[in-house]
Amino acid sequence: MGTSKLHNYNKKQLSLATITHALAHPARIAILQFISKQKSCICGSIVDELSLSQATISQHLKVLKEAGLLKGTISGASTCYCINEKEWEKAKVLLHQFMNTKFNAPNTSCCS
Partner DNA sequence: CTTTTTCATCGTAATATTGCGATGAATAGA
Partner DNA sequence: TCTATTCATCGCAATATTACGATGAAAAAG
Where does this chain bind a copy of itself (CB under 8 A)?
1, 4-6, 8-9, 13-14, 16-17, 20-21, 23-30, 32-33, 35-41, 50-52, 71-73, 75, 80-83, 85, 88, 91-92, 95-96, 98-104, 106-108, 110-112
Of residues 70, 84, 94, the one with CA closest to residue 15: 94
How do beta strands 70-75 and 78-83 pair? antiparallel
The interface partner of residue 96, options being a copy of itself, DNA, none and the CB cut-off 5 to 8 Å by kind, is: a copy of itself
Pick the closer one to DNA by CB: 29 or 93. 29
**Roughly how many angstroms between the first and final C-alpha of the chain, as a whole number?**
34
Residues in 25-84 at the binding interface with DNA, rule: CB under 7 A? 25, 27, 42-44, 47, 52-56, 58-63, 72, 76-79
**What are the C-alpha distances in Å from 18 to residues 4, 13, 61, 112?**
13, 9, 15, 33
